[in-house]
Chains A and B, each alone.
Chain A
Amino acid sequence: MTATALPPKSSTTDVRVRVRAKRLVLYTVLVSVTGLFLGPFGWLVLSGLKTQGELAASPVHWLPDAFQWHNFADAFHQIDFLGYARNSLVIALIYATLVTLSSAWVGFGFARLDAPGKKWLFGVLLGSMMLPQMVTLLPTYLIFAKVGMVDTYWPWVLWGLSAAPYLVFLFRQFFAGMPRELEEAAIVDGCGYTSIFWRIFLPQSWPVLSASFIIAFTWTWGDYIAPQLLLSTDRTTLAVAVMTTYVSEAGTPVPELQAAASVMYVVPILLIFLIAQRGFVAGMSTSGLK
C-alpha cells in the first residue's frame, strides 16, 4: 500500500525533512517542559545566593550581583541546624527501620499464610490506605498529649511498629511471587515460620527492603505536620525548623537564609533518590498498579 501511495522520487527527502522537523518539535517540548519542572528548584537555589536587598527588589533581580555563598554558612549557624538535622535523621531512621521490618513481617503473613478472615483483613488493609491521615492525626495528637508522649519520639516508634499498609502491600506482592518450594523445604527441615521469614524470605528481599526503607525515610524527612504538632521547638525536625525559625526580630521570615536552609534540607533527599532511583521507582510503581 505504501509503495503505491508514495510518489517515487522527491518523497525521500520530503519524509526526511518531516521526520527531522518532528524530532525538533519533540526535543523542544521535552527540553522546555524539563526546564519548567526544574525552574522552581533552581529559583530556590538562586534565591539562597542573593542578598536580602536583591530578594526584595522590584522589578525582579534575576541574578545576584555576587553569589552570596555565606548565606549557606549563616543559615547553618543562625539556628542549631545540625541539631535539627540530627532530630530529623533520628526520627527518620527509627521510623524507616521499624516500619520496614514490621511491614515485611505483616506482608509475609498476608502473602504466605492463611486463616479465616484473611480476605476481609486484607480488604481492611487496602481500604485503610485510603483513610485520610489528617483525620486521625489531630485526635491522635490529643491522645498522645494525654498519655505524655508529646515531645518524645515514641509516636514514631509506635507508628513504625504498627506497619504501613502501603509498604505491607509492597512486601506482600514481592513475597507472593517467591516459589513455594522455598518454604516447603524449610518446613520439612523443621523450621518454624518465624525462622522461615528471617532466614529464607528476608535475606532474599533486599530490593524491596531498601525500596521500603528509602520510601519511609523520605516520608518522615519530608513530613511537616506531625513534628510540628508533636514536638517542641528544640526537639523538632529540620522541616519545621526551616519553615519557622528563620525569622527577623520583626517576626517576618528572612527569605535568603530560609532559601539556603531549605536547599540544604532538600538536597540529601534528592541525593538519596538519585542514588537509589531504581528501587525507589520500582517500589512506587508496584504499589500504584495494584
Chain B
Amino acid sequence: MTVDQISSSAEGRPAPAATSTGRRAPAADRPRISMTARRHRAFYMFTSPWIIGFLLLTITPMVYALWLSFTTFDGISPNWRYVGLGNYRELLNDPVTWDALGRAGLFAVTSVPLSIIAGLGLAVLVNRPIKARGLFRTLLYVPAVVPPVGAGLAFKLLFDQNSGAANGALTFFGIDAVGWLADPYARYVLLMTVLWGAGNVMIISLAGLQDVPRELHEAARIDGASAWRTFRSITVPLLSPVLLFQTVTGMIASVQTIMPLLLAPLGDTSGITTVPQSNYLYMMHVFAQYFALGRYGYASALLWVLFVLILVVTGLIFKFTSGAVFYNVDPEAKK
C-alpha cells in the first residue's frame, strides 16, 4: 500500500511533490504506463478473493467429483477402483434415474411457469392504485422470506391427512379426505410450496413494472387498447429480460430443491427413504445414492450429468429467447 501511495503521488503531482516524499526520483518519464499497470495490479488484487475462492471451492470440488465419478469410491472401503465410464453406463441403464429425471423435468416445467405467472399476476395486482398498497406487498412477500424448514413444516401440518386444514376444507364441502403427503398427491403439495414463494417474482417484476414508461400506457389507452392487450403487448415485452432471468434461476432452483426431503415424514437426510415416489426428483435420487447407500462415485456421476443438462438447457433457453426478449438498450427512452 505504501508503494501504491508513493507511485500515485509521483504520477498525480509534479516532480517537486514526488521528491518531497524523498524516496523516489522524479517520475516524469514513466507516468502513464505505471498508472495503467497499477490499475491492472489493483484489479487482480481486488478480484483475487473471488478468483481464489472460485478455484478452490467451486472448480476443485467439481473436478474432484468428475474424478470420483469414474470410480467406485464409497468413503469406507479402501479397495475402491477406477471404473472408467462404468457409473455413467449404469445410470443410463437405470430406469430409476430416468424416472427421477423425468419427474424433475416435469416439476421444472410446471413450477417455474406457474410461479412466474403467479408472481406477475400479484405484481400487476399490487401495482394498481389501491389502499394500503405497501402492506399488501409486504404480506404477499413474507412467505418468500420464510426459510425452507419453516415452509416445509407449515405445509406438512397444513396437508396432514387427519388434522390438516386442507382436508378439513375438503370434508367441509363433502369431499373425501386425501392423503396429500403420499402418492400421488405429494407432487401438488410440492408445487404449492413453490407457488407460496411467488412473492419473490412479484417483487422483482414490480421493480420492472415501475420502469415501464407511463407514456406507453397512455398511448396504448388513447389508441383504444384493452387492458389485456396493453399487458400483453407492452408490459410483458418490457419485462421480458426479468422474466427470462426468473425462468433460468427458477429452473436451476427447482432442480436443486430439497423441499421433497423436508416434506417427507423424517426431514433428516436419513429420511430420504421416506420421500414418496411422486416427489422422488433427481436430487433425491442423488441424495439416496449419497447418504443412504454411500455410493459417492455413482452419485458424483449423477451430479455431473445434472450439471451438463443444466448447462445445455440454460443455453437452449437463451438461444430460443434471444429474438423474443426485448432489451431496453437506450436508457434515454425510459425518461
Binding site for B on A (CB under 8 A): 26-27, 29-30, 33-34, 37-41, 43-44, 47, 54-62, 102, 105-106, 108-110, 113-116, 118, 121, 124-125, 128-140, 142-143, 145, 158-159, 161-163, 165, 168, 187-195, 197, 218, 221-225, 228-229, 239, 242-244, 252-253, 255, 258-259, 262-263, 265-266, 269-270, 273-274, 277, 281, 284-286, 288-290
Q: Say whether chain A's binding surface is mostly helix, strand, loop, or mixed.
A: helix
Tell me how far the C-beta of B199 lies from the nearest C-beta in chain A, rounded to whole angstroms. Answer: 7
**Contact, CB under 8 Å: A158 / B162:** no
**Contact, CB under 8 Å: A143 / B60:** yes
Interface residues of B in 140-168 (CB under 8 A from A): 140-143, 145-155, 157-158, 160-165, 167-168
**Contact, CB under 8 Å: A194 / B1:** yes
Binding site for A on B (CB under 8 A): 1, 4-5, 8-9, 11-13, 36, 39-47, 49-54, 56-58, 60-62, 64-65, 68, 75, 122, 125-126, 128, 130, 136, 138-143, 145-155, 157-158, 160-165, 167-168, 171, 177, 196, 199-200, 203-204, 206-208, 241-242, 245-246, 248-249, 252, 255-256, 258, 262, 265-269, 283, 286, 290, 296, 299-300, 303-304, 306-307, 310, 314
Give chain A residues whose Cβ lies under 8 Å from the Cβ of B206: 285
Give chain A residues whose Cβ lies under 8 Å from the Cβ of B158: 39-40, 43
Bound CA–CA A129/B314 (angstroms): 12
Task: List 18 A-B pairs, Cβ < 8 Å.
Answer: A40-B158, A55-B163, A57-B163, A58-B162, A105-B46, A109-B45, A115-B40, A130-B252, A162-B54, A190-B12, A193-B4, A194-B4, A197-B46, A218-B147, A225-B258, A259-B157, A262-B153, A284-B204
**Contact, CB under 8 Å: B12 / A188:** yes
Give chain B residues whose Cβ lies under 8 Å from the Cβ of A270: 142, 145-146
Tell me how far the C-beta of A31 lies from the nearest C-beta in chain B, rounded to whole angstroms. Answer: 9
**Contact, CB under 8 Å: B39 / A114:** yes
**Contact, CB under 8 Å: A109 / B43:** yes
Give chain B residues whose Cβ lies under 8 Å from the Cβ of A37: 139-140, 142-143, 196, 199
Q: Say whether chain B's binding surface is mostly helix, strand, loop, or mixed.
A: helix
Given contacts A116-B40, A193-B42, contact A128 B130 (CB under 8 A): no
User: Which of the listed residues B61, B150, B252 has the most CB atoms from chain A within 10 Å of its own CB?
Assistant: B150
Tell me how far the C-beta of B55 lies from the nearest C-beta in chain A, rounded to whole angstroms. Answer: 9
Given contacts A269-B145, A270-B142, A288-B245, contact A162 B154 (CB under 8 A): no
Bound CA–CA A93/B75 (angstroms): 32
Give chain B residues whose Cβ lies under 8 Å from the Cβ of A40: 143, 151, 154-155, 158, 196
**Contact, CB under 8 Å: B61 / A139:** yes
Bound CA–CA A219/B36 (angstroms): 38
**Contact, CB under 8 Å: A43 / B157:** yes
Count A/B pairs, Cβ under 8 Å. 299
**Contact, CB under 8 Å: A115 / B140:** no
Given contacts A34-B136, A224-B262, contact A41 B269 (CB under 8 A): no
Give chain B residues whose Cβ lies under 8 Å from the Cβ of A229: 269
**Contact, CB under 8 Å: A106 / B50:** yes
Bound CA–CA A266/B153 (angstroms): 11
Contact of A39 among B11, B161, B165 (CB under 8 A): B165
**Contact, CB under 8 Å: B136 / A30:** yes
Give chain B residues whose Cβ lies under 8 Å from the Cβ of A284: 200, 203-204
**Contact, CB under 8 Å: A224 / B43:** no
Residue on B nearest A281 in the bound complex, by CB: B203
**Contact, CB under 8 Å: A163 / B49:** yes
Tell me how far the C-beta of B58 lies from the nearest C-beta in chain A, rounded to whole angstroms. Answer: 5
**Contact, CB under 8 Å: A38 / B54:** no
**Contact, CB under 8 Å: A102 / B49:** yes
| Other 20 A-B pairs with CB < 8 A, given A59-B171, A218-B147 | A26-B128, A33-B140, A37-B139, A37-B142, A37-B196, A40-B151, A41-B143, A108-B46, A121-B51, A125-B50, A139-B303, A142-B296, A192-B4, A192-B8, A244-B266, A244-B267, A270-B146, A285-B207, A288-B204, A289-B207
